[in-house]
Amino acid sequence: MSRSKCSRELYCSFLDVTATRYSALSLSEVAPDNPSLSHDSISRWLATEQVQPKDLWAAAKKEVHSSPGILVFDDVVIDKSRSGKMELVNWQYAGSNHDVVKGIGVVNALWQTSKEQYIPMDYRIWNPPEDGRTKNDHFRDMLSSTKVRGLHPDMVVADSWYSSLKNLKAVRSHGWDWVMGLRSNRLVGKPHQQLKELDIPDEGLVTYLKGYGWVRVFRFAAKNGRTDYVGTSRTDLSREQVKGYFERRWSVEVLHRELKQTCGLARCQAKRGRAQRNHIGLSMLTWIQKHKRRLTDQTTLYQQDWEVIKPGIQLALAARLRC
């Protein structure tokens, strides 16, 4: 059996330029100067390659180290509800669906220097049947990796899913501050009360978070009528400062949308877990390529995709009009 002629460069370049089809068969049909590259060969390569989170760090570290920033955490669920038996797929809550779905969970760590400047620097795939680890375990692992890499974020930001007592203490153990969502039933003060029972003024309330210590808590009314509680270890921060930090989580949502819509994150139908892991990692490496082009050419990831298909559409449109 011949060795596969597929490579990371070829696969990422394919994810970069394609817009509709992401299968091994599609790649085999368009691979340049390589007629012997079969879709079976590509599938075997994808199931045996070893793309890991450290590869993403290698691609991102120069930009991350170049400027101070904040560390933002969030997870995304790659919906696989219509797939058959597939490794890495677990039932889990997906915020985009507002429901529990079958999918592959990915926890991401994002380095953000401003609302417009951000880059993924680490990720973990959530699969408890394989390793017994929770999303919060992965959160703390990535915190430790960030410390080992010599980074000192100005703030660690996440929603209430990641604000467990163990996580907050882990952030503090590294010498960092945090701004995170807090569940309405978190106990504060002495005697203990739930957050939802407190009268919190607009300027926030400095109170004692059970098991942790002194924090400043704010209440924000969402447009849909929901009430959000946001806390911070920096008791000197104002309402606007905390709101500014917390709203910067939106960059992770933008990243997830760009990964799905321009890098094929959710389009792999391989059954093997290793193939899915590799595709996810290669999708993120593809995003790095497109992100660098965005900075140098001042063009969005969506515009880059359009520039690829525009010449073909122009030719096809002209041909139709001549008929």
**Quick one: pLDDT band at residue 1, thresholds 50, 70, 90?**
very low
Q: Is the pLDDT of residue 213 over 90?
A: yes
Q: Is 17 inside a domain boundary?
A: yes
DSSP class of residue 162 equals G
Give the residue among 82, 123, 95, 109 at the shortest CA–CA distance from 278: 123
| Whether residue 241 is found in the same domain as residue 299 | no
Mean pLDDT, all residues of the chain = 94
Verify cis geometry, omega within 30 degrees of 0, for the bond prior to 191.
yes
Residue 149 φ then ψ, to 5°: -80, 5
| Per-residue model confidence as pLDDT tens digits over 214-227 | 999 999 998 778 89
**Quick one: pLDDT band at residue 202, thresholds 50, 70, 90?**
very high
Instruction: Say how far apart CA 188 and CA 213 lie, in whole Å.
Output: 9
* Strand ranges, E, within 171-314: 178-182, 187-188, 193-194, 205-209, 213-221, 227-232
pLDDT of residue 2: 43
pLDDT of residue 194: 97
| Whether residue 223 is found in the same domain as residue 176 | yes
Q: Is the pLDDT of residue 152 over 70?
A: yes
| Whether residue 277 is found in the same domain as residue 243 | no
Q: Is 24 inside a domain boundary?
A: yes
Chain position carrying tokens 């924090």: 215
Q: State what percent of residues in the chain have pLDDT above 90.
A: 88
Which of 213, 248, 283 terminates a domain? The answer is: 248
Chain position carrying tokens 């995170």: 180
Token code pair at residue 122: 């680490």
CB distance 281 to 56 below 8 Å: yes
Instruction: Say how far apart CA 102 and CA 268 lie, in whole Å.
Output: 15
Number of domains in the chain: 2
Mean pLDDT on 127-155: 97
Q: Is the pLDDT of residue 195 over 70?
A: yes
Q: Is 220 inside a domain boundary?
A: yes
Q: State what percent of residues in the chain have pLDDT above 70.
A: 98
pLDDT of residue 168: 98
Instruction: Say how far apart CA 298 and CA 307 lie, in whole Å.
Output: 13
Q: Is 212 inside a domain boundary?
A: yes
Mean pLDDT on 128-141: 97
| Whether residue 231 is found in the same domain as residue 281 | no
* Strand ranges, E, within 237-290: none
| Whether residue 211 is found in the same domain as residue 275 | no
Instruction: Say how far apart CA 51 and CA 8 lie, in whole Å.
Output: 9
| Whether residue 240 is found in the same domain as residue 177 | yes
Do the bridges between strand 70-79 and strand 156-158 make them parallel or antiparallel, or are there none, so unpaired?
Answer: parallel
pLDDT of residue 84: 77
| Whether residue 276 is found in the same domain as residue 243 | no
| Per-residue model confidence as pLDDT tens digits over 2-56 | 456 899 999 999 999 998 899 999 999 999 877 678 999 999 999 999 999 999 9
Q: Is 205 inside a domain boundary?
A: yes
- pTM of full prediction above 0.85: yes
Mean pLDDT on 285-310: 96
pLDDT of residue 3: 57
Q: Is 230 inside a domain boundary?
A: yes
| Whether residue 223 is found in the same domain as residue 285 | no
- Residue 263's alpha-carbon distances to 63, 205, 288, in angstroms, are 20, 43, 10
| Range of the structural domain that residue 290 is part of | 8-50+271-322
pLDDT of residue 4: 62
Q: Is 193 inside a domain boundary?
A: yes
| Whether residue 281 is found in the same domain as residue 233 | no
| Whether residue 222 is found in the same domain as residue 293 | no
Q: Is 276 inside a domain boundary?
A: yes
pLDDT of residue 145: 98
pLDDT of residue 225: 80
Q: Is the pLDDT of residue 67 over 90?
A: no
| Whether residue 225 is found in the same domain as residue 291 | no
| Per-residue model confidence as pLDDT tens digits over 69-116 | 999 999 999 999 888 789 999 999 887 777 899 999 999 999 999 877
| Whether residue 236 is found in the same domain as residue 307 | no
Mean pLDDT on 190-215: 96
